[in-house]
Amino acid sequence: LVYSDSNPLKRVLHADATLDSDGQPIRKKKVVVLGSGWSGYSFLNYLNNPNYDVQVVSPRNFFLFTPLLPSVTNGTVEARSIVEPIRGLMRKKGFEYKEAECVKIDPSNKKLHCRSKEGSSLKGTTEFDMDYDILVIAVGAKPNTFNTPGVEEHAYFLKEAEDALNIRHSVIDCFERASLPNLTEEERKKILHFVVVGGGPTGVEFSAELHDFLVQDVAKIYPKVQEFTRITLLEAGDHILNMFDKRITAFAEEKFQRDGIDLKTGSMVVGVTADEISTKERETGKIVSEPYGMVVWSTGIGSRPVIRDFMQQIGQGQRRVLATDEWLRVEGCEDVYALGDTATINQRRVMEDIAAIFSKADKGNTGTLNKKDFNGVVKDICQRYPQVELYLKKNKLKNIAHLLKSANGEDTQVNIENFKQALSEVDSQMKNLPATAQVASQQGKYLAKCFNKMEKCERKPEGPLRFRGEGRHRFQPFRYRHFGSFAPLGGEQTAAELPGDWVSIGHSSQWLWYSVYASKLVSWRTRMLVISDWTRRFVFGRDSSS
Ligand code: FAD
Ligand code: MG
Ligand code: MG
Ligand code: MG
Ligand code: MG
């Protein structure tokens, strides 16, 4: 088969024995993991292979449970409740942790250049170099400003725990400032104009949380200025939540309208100054500027500078996002893996491999495939090329045999031309996986499991298609399982889109969301803290001190 490079980890494995040829213990392989977010933490959590010396480098010494981050901005949940310190896991697993940022990856010398964070009490930074045998990149992504002038300086992002706290303080400061004497009505209106840029799940959820806060709490605490408040949500496209089902988008847009959130679609932000935000209306091309009190920027993610630089070095400079193969190996680079938001999987096309698939299935070398030949490879094809399954589902076909039948009448004897024709449309179903916690954590778990069974796999080398009679201990390519998406919309309502075209909106999905996230929180400690925050909020309302 063409995949002769198919054992991704074999070379690494060879040096992995604990004794060398003279019976002397050899140095353990050094695995360096960059990042302690969804993908990195999940990888570390599931990694159980004593043959590795594991070192973690991340500028934050905790895991952050991002789905609840928008709830921190208005005090529904405390920031401390949604972080999980990483030291506990490190001690339990015997891994080593360094609180620093990797600023340069040097793949040709297998070296990393790292720098400590500048703390509030510590002046200056410490720099150091590290080497690695295997590198796992899980550094996530950074907010994308699309180089819009003024955004870095004047807007708030919502990505890290500090961001959520900064937003919370700033919202409350706006209310305190607007409550001071000697301000004109215009000035109060400006200070209390909250602008959210980006109609994706985060921007929508933040707007909803802010609205809840204004309605449920501000009305009581700042009754005099409440009438001056306004929330504007700006979206460049035609609709908000455009990755969701149309029913959810429509529901959310209607709800926002009822709530009095000023939703402006087709408006692209072209600049932000200290006092004004300017948008270009797509239809008219007109530029409109409006005064604001606070801007929250949430328009998607881009690659971190250290990753951009790395991509240049390995010949991926033209790409938008770092590419890996289906085993999460970085393309064009040895012994480097990348997971989560940092990378996308460059899914292999069926058409590229069609001749090889055919000849592998055609056991007797007859030039045609019969039903039996075919059954022997169907499962492997579906495993190796997820787009096949998507295509069958979309066309309501039970399996590949049906696809061939529909392409070739009732005759199940197919030659290479029929085979090609039947599968010709399949690659059109290829889609990049979304940048979500669900994908990141599944990738972390997947890679850890591969690393855990390295030694077994070495004895029974892997092939990308699992053919009958071959060993079992092989690495299957990464497969994503979608458990559904949630979009909290405020007012205790959540929209849920679950597998099987099931859409549910309302209070029941709010509780579904609570329970899904409560059960996914990493530790009992975190779970307890979040549940007690929720309870406290129900009973006493939110804390409004900044
Ligand atoms: P991250 O989780 O971002 O982790 C990156 C890690 O790398 C961090 O520890 C960081 O400190 C570290 N790091 C950064 N730079 C360096 C460096 N140079 N060297 C070393 N370490 C570095 N997804 C869902 O599925 N459901 C949701 O409800 C949901 N809600 C979200 C809400 C918000 C507000 C946000 C911001 C995201 C949300 N997401 C959600 C998306 C989800 O958080 C991301 O997809 C996920 O965090 C990606 O995981 P990751 O491991 O790639 O990156
Ligand atoms: Mg991570
Ligand atoms: Mg995270
Ligand atoms: Mg990220
Ligand atoms: Mg990704």
Q: What is the DSSP string of 467-509?
A: -TTS-S---PPP------EEEEEETTEEEEEETTTEEEEEHHH
- Do 391 and 414 sit in the same domain of this protein? yes
Task: Assess whether pLDDT exceeds 70 at residue 526.
Answer: yes
What does the pLDDT average to over 156-184?
A: 95
Question: 164 C-alpha to center of ligand 4: Å?
Answer: 15
- Do 201 and 294 sit in the same domain of this protein? yes
Residue 54 lies in a domain: yes
pLDDT digits (tens, 9 = 90+) for 352-394: 888 888 888 887 788 888 777 777 777 778 777 888 888 888 8
- Which of the two residues, 40 and 348, has the higher pLDDT score? 40
Among the atoms of ligand 1, which is closest to the Cα of residue 140? 53
Nearest CA to ligand 1 atom 53: 140
Task: Assess whether pLDDT exceeds 50 at residue 122.
Answer: yes
- Which of the two residues, 344 and 26, has the higher pLDDT score? 344
- Do 171 and 49 sit in the same domain of this protein? no
- Do 289 and 321 sit in the same domain of this protein? no
pLDDT digits (tens, 9 = 90+) for 488-514: 888 778 888 877 777 888 777 776 776
Mean pLDDT of the chain: 85
Per-residue pLDDT, 519: 59
- Do 424 and 337 sit in the same domain of this protein? no
Question: 352 C-alpha to center of ligand 2: Å?
Answer: 32
Pocket test for ligand 1, best of 66, 205, 441, 442 (most atoms within 8 A of CB): 66
**Rounded Cα distance, 533 and 70, in Å:** 14
Pairing of strands 276-281, 156-157: unpaired
Best-predicted range by mean pLDDT among 20-34, 44-58, 355-369, 503-517? 44-58
Best-predicted range by mean pLDDT among 7-21, 240-254, 388-402? 240-254
- Do 263 and 319 sit in the same domain of this protein? no
Q: Return the biggest CA–CA distance within the chain.
A: 91
Residue 113: half-sphere exposure toward Cβ, Cα within 13 Å = 9
Residue 397 lies in a domain: yes
- Do 405 and 373 sit in the same domain of this protein? yes
Question: 41 C-alpha to center of ligand 2: Å?
Answer: 6
Pairing of strands 134-137, 322-324: unpaired
Among the atoms of ligand 1, which is closest to the Cα of residue 60? 11
Residue 40: half-sphere exposure toward Cβ, Cα within 13 Å = 33
Assign residue 362 the CATH number of its domain: 1.10.238
Question: 80 C-alpha to center of ligand 4: Å?
Answer: 19
Pocket test for ligand 1, best of 436, 486, 530 (most atoms within 8 A of CB): 436
**Rounded Cα distance, 287 and 8, in Å:** 53
pLDDT digits (tens, 9 = 90+) for 406-446: 665 555 678 888 888 888 888 888 888 989 988 999 999 99
* Structural domains counted in the chain: 3
- The DSSP call for residue 412 is -
Nearest ligand to the C-alpha of residue 139? Answer: 1
Nearest CA to ligand 1 atom 29: 67
Bridge partners (DSSP) listed for residue 101: 115
Reported as a pLDDT band with limits 50, 70 and 90, residue 470 is very low
Residue 468 lies in a domain: no
- Do 171 and 275 sit in the same domain of this protein? yes
Residue 441 lies in a domain: no
Reported as a pLDDT band with limits 50, 70 and 90, residue 468 is very low
What does the pLDDT average to over 51-72?
A: 93
Q: Among 345, 368, 401, where does a domain finish?
A: 345
Q: Where does ligand 1 bind, in terms of residues with CB under 6 Å? A: 34-40, 57-60, 66-67, 69-70, 101-102, 138-140, 158-159, 202, 304, 306, 340-342, 435-438, 440
Question: 153 C-alpha to center of ligand 5: Å?
Answer: 28
Pairing of strands 267-272, 276-281: antiparallel
Reported as a pLDDT band with limits 50, 70 and 90, residue 12 is very low
Task: Assess whether pLDDT exceeds 60 at residue 17.
Answer: no
Reported as a pLDDT band with limits 50, 70 and 90, residue 228 is very high
What does the pLDDT average to over 199-207?
A: 93
Assign residue 491 the CATH number of its domain: 3.50.50.100
Per-residue pLDDT, 469: 38
Question: 434 C-alpha to center of ligand 5: Å?
Answer: 7
Among the atoms of ligand 1, which is closest to the Cα of residue 206? 34
Residue 202 lies in a domain: yes
58: enclosing H helix or E strand: strand 52-58
- Which of the two residues, 349 and 15, has the higher pLDDT score? 349
- Which of the two residues, 75 and 163, has the higher pLDDT score? 163
Residue 474 lies in a domain: no
Nearest ligand to the C-alpha of residue 138? Answer: 2
Which domain covers residue 98, as residue numbers? Answer: 10-141+303-345
- Do 73 and 121 sit in the same domain of this protein? yes
What is the CB neighbour count within 10 angstroms for residue 208?
27
- Do 285 and 391 sit in the same domain of this protein? no
- Do 127 and 169 sit in the same domain of this protein? no
Question: 81 C-alpha to center of ligand 3: Å?
Answer: 14
User: Coil, strand, or helix at residue 283?
Assistant: coil
Nearest ligand to the C-alpha of residue 328? Answer: 5
Nearest CA to ligand 1 atom 41: 436
Reported as a pLDDT band with limits 50, 70 and 90, residue 463 is very low
Per-residue pLDDT, 407: 61
Residue 402 lies in a domain: yes
ipTM score assigned to the predicted complex:
0.96
Question: 297 C-alpha to center of ligand 2: Å?
Answer: 22
- Do 85 and 15 sit in the same domain of this protein? yes
Per-residue pLDDT, 18: 57
Question: 39 C-alpha to center of ligand 5: Å?
Answer: 9
Enumerate residues 6+ apart whose C-beta is below 8 A from 306: 101, 102, 103, 104, 105, 139
Residue 463 lies in a domain: no
Nearest CA-CA partner of 138 in 30, 60, 35, 61 = 35
Ligand 2 ion local residues (Cβ < 5 A) = 35, 37, 39-40, 138
pLDDT digits (tens, 9 = 90+) for 269-314: 999 999 999 999 988 999 999 999 999 999 999 999 999 999 999 9
Q: Among 292, 312, 345, where does a domain finish?
A: 345
Question: 323 C-alpha to center of ligand 5: Å?
Answer: 9
- Which of the two residues, 155 and 434, has the higher pLDDT score? 155
Task: Assess whether pLDDT exceeds 70 at residue 101.
Answer: yes
Nearest CA to ligand 1 atom 9: 36
Q: Among 429, 444, 461, where does a domain finish?
A: 429
Task: Assess whether pLDDT exceeds 90 at residue 130.
Answer: yes
Q: From residue 388, give the alpha-carbon distance in Å to each of 358, 400, 409.
A: 15, 8, 20
Nearest CA to ligand 1 atom 42: 437
